[in-house]
Structure 1
Amino acid sequence: MTESDFEFLRSFLKQRSGLAMTAEKRYLVESRLSPVCRRLNLADLHDLVALLKLGRDGAAERAVVEAMTTNETFFFRDRTPFDLFRDVLLPQAIARNAGRRRLRIWCAAASTGQEPYSLAMLLQEAAPRLAGWQVEIVATDLSTEVIERAKAGIYSHFEVQRGLPVQWLIKHFAQVGENWQISQSLRAMVDYRQLNLLNAFDGLGQFDVVYCRNVLIYFDAPTKADILNRIAACLAPEGALVLGAAETVIGLTDRLQPNPDNRGVYGHAAPGSRTAPIPVAPAGPLSAAPPSRPAAASALAPASALAPLRASAGR
């Protein structure tokens, strides 16, 4: 791969997905995109770059972006954010929303579904406290391929062994050949949508809890700041944003501040406590966001079983 080809790919990936590929990541670009060349019957990365420069092959463009996206995840990853949800964030949201009996959660980098399904399992355990509530989990990801995998809810033996308690595997999964499929009731709780975090969040509505974990680390500071500001606009007045252990809002936005009692949790900043964030550079032209489909909400039935319920996405 020539230097000019690498520079083009860096620019292409930055514009389409926000990925900031440093010079040290050249080997990663070559290793991940070489299989894409083979699938497209192209001789090498130079031919792939030539194809991308034409701007006429949307399938090739998506294949390149998805090949470079990291989809590492597992059930109850890092455990603490899920303990916080069960013990702190969910009880707070229940008390706060008791009047309208509605709860909305957004997993902003859902990958193959382990994070939203982990939250869904916790919600099923809390079903007696949520009888008669309208509960919705919206799960988004850039990659259409991983979204389809998440919708199917089928995982290998290795995947269900990573972080999932054995008693919950027995309770919530059925064996399908050598794999395991999560129950239909849990799959019905999650509304999966394709979404590029660089694009507008129009149509998502407002959320009580947002999980955006281990994805901001791949962006440069101005892109992080832009995404965090737009997440803040989607967060309920007393809502909570949960980031990954290596991520923070400090120095990036004045709209959010750390929760002093719970590490990794952020809420709206009080007006008097705001400090100047870093300036956000223009992102440049991006492809239009795909139209949002209506949210398929889920509700908790009085008998503690979760069932699908139609509802609008906003509130």
Structure 2
Amino acid sequence: MNGIEFDYLRHLLYERSGLVVTKDKVYLLEGRLMPIARQRGLDSVDALVNMISRTRDETLIGEVIDAMTTNETLFFRDNWPYERLRRTILPDVLSMSGSQKRVRIWSAACSSGQEPYSIAMTIAEMRPMLGGAQIEICATDISPSILNRAREGRYSDFELSRGLPEPMRNRYFSVDGEGWRIKDTVREMVTFKSFNLLGDPIAAGLGTFDIVFCRNVLIYFDEATRGRVLKSIARVMSPWGYLCLGGAETVVGISDAFKVLPGERGLFALAKKDKLSDVA
């Protein structure tokens, strides 16, 4: 890829999605965008970038962003966030919210749905302990195509083998052709919406959340964009809210809206929250 085309594409991706692409990732650009170029009858990614710069075709720009922001995911990734949700976070939020008995969870950048469905299955396992509390899960992503796939809830044997315990597969999935489909009782617990993390969640009407999962997303942004995203998330969180990031992600030195919880990695509270519950 030529330097001029690379710089144009790099700026476009950053402006539209916050994605930071360095020169050592040219191979990734070529691999993900060449199929789009071929579909348009073009013989190179450079030609594709030239077409975008000439036409500013929003449909084509959307396809490019879609291709570059679709990231790998798996069920119950790292496991600890779901254990903390079950043992500590959800009981603590319910105790703090008083008589409200309504908890809203946001799965940001949900990709093909494994994270929000893992949350939903965790909650389904907890039902006897929730005392009739209403749990709402909102899952968002920038990619229309990946959201459509997530809504369908269809997965291959390989995808289910990555992180999903077999007893949960048998309880919450049904055989669907050569793969599996998540049962309606779980699928209907999740509402999927299109949302760009660089946007305003208030203007988008997402509402207020008690728990936010935004895992393994900030690592793709530069520090300024991370701060911007964290500020937006803080604005739509309840006073007792929890933020769950990836194990290698932090708010330290980036946002003063959140504070580190003692003994926790990747789990944060709004700065005004006093302490983590002792529930275990």
Taking structure 1 as the reference length, the TM-score comes to 0.83
> What residue in structure 2 maps to residue 222 of structure 1?
224
- Return the alpha-carbon distance in structure 1 between the equivalents of residues 42 and 57 of structure 2: 13
Cα deviations by residue, 1:4-26 (Å, 9 ceiling, x for unpaired): 00110100110111111111111
> What residue in structure 2 maps to residue 211 of structure 1?
213
Q: Secondary structure at the match of 2:72?
A: coil
> What residue in structure 2 maps to residue 260 of structure 1?
262
Length, aligned pairs only: 272
Larger helix proportion of the pair: 2
> What residue in structure 1 maps to residue 83 of structure 2?
83
Matching of residue 269 in structure 1 with residue 271 in structure 2: yes
> What residue in structure 2 maps to residue 104 of structure 1?
104
Matching of residue 150 in structure 1 with residue 150 in structure 2: yes
CA contact (8 A) 2:70 2:143 kept: no
Q: Secondary structure at the match of 2:240?
A: strand
Q: Which runs of 5+ in 2 are unaligned?
A: 274-280
> What residue in structure 2 maps to residue 179 of structure 1?
179
Q: Secondary structure at the match of 2:247?
A: coil
The amino acid that maps onto 1:111 is S
Deviation at 1:270, TM superposition (A): 4.1
- Return the alpha-carbon distance in structure 2 between the equivalents of residues 55 and 139 of structure 1: 33
> What residue in structure 1 maps to residue 136 of structure 2?
136
Q: Secondary structure at the match of 2:43?
A: coil
Q: RMSD over aligned Cα, in angstroms?
A: 1.5
- Return the alpha-carbon distance in structure 2 between the equivalents of residues 82 and 133 of structure 1: 18
Choose which of 245, 248, 253 in structure 1 pairs with 2:247. Answer: 245
Deviation at 1:261, TM superposition (A): 3.7
> What residue in structure 2 maps to residue 193 of structure 1?
193
The amino acid that maps onto 1:193 is K
- Return the alpha-carbon distance in structure 1 between the equivalents of residues 24 and 114 of structure 2: 30
Cα deviations by residue, 1:197-221 (Å, 9 ceiling, x for unpaired): 1111121111110000001000000
Q: Secondary structure at the match of 1:126?
A: helix
Deviation at 1:129, TM superposition (A): 2.8
Taking structure 2 as the reference length, the TM-score comes to 0.93
1:4-23 pair list within 5 angstroms:
4-23=4-23
Cα deviations by residue, 1:265-285 (Å, 9 ceiling, x for unpaired): 1111149xxxxxxxxxxxxxx
CA contact (8 A) 2:141 2:196 kept: yes
- Return the alpha-carbon distance in structure 2 between the equivalents of residues 40 and 8 of structure 1: 19
> What residue in structure 2 maps to residue 313 of structure 1?
none
Cα deviations by residue, 1:108-147 (Å, 9 ceiling, x for unpaired): 0100001100110111111123343222100001111110
The amino acid that maps onto 2:113 is G
- Return the alpha-carbon distance in structure 2 between the equivalents of residues 116 and 128 of structure 1: 20
> What residue in structure 1 maps to residue 43 of structure 2?
43
Q: Secondary structure at the match of 2:7?
A: helix
> What residue in structure 2 maps to residue 303 of structure 1?
none
Deviation at 1:46, TM superposition (A): 2.5
Q: Secondary structure at the match of 2:100?
A: coil
- Return the alpha-carbon distance in structure 1 between the equivalents of residues 85 and 18 of structure 2: 28
> What residue in structure 1 maps to residue 62 of structure 2?
62
The amino acid that maps onto 2:130 is L
Q: Name the % identity.
A: 45
Structure 1 outlier segments of 4+, above 4 Å: none
The amino acid that maps onto 1:63 is E
Q: Secondary structure at the match of 2:231?
A: helix
- Return the alpha-carbon distance in structure 2 between the equivalents of residues 160 and 150 of structure 1: 14
Deviation at 1:96, TM superposition (A): 1.8
- Return the alpha-carbon distance in structure 1 between the equivalents of residues 263 and 7 of structure 2: 44
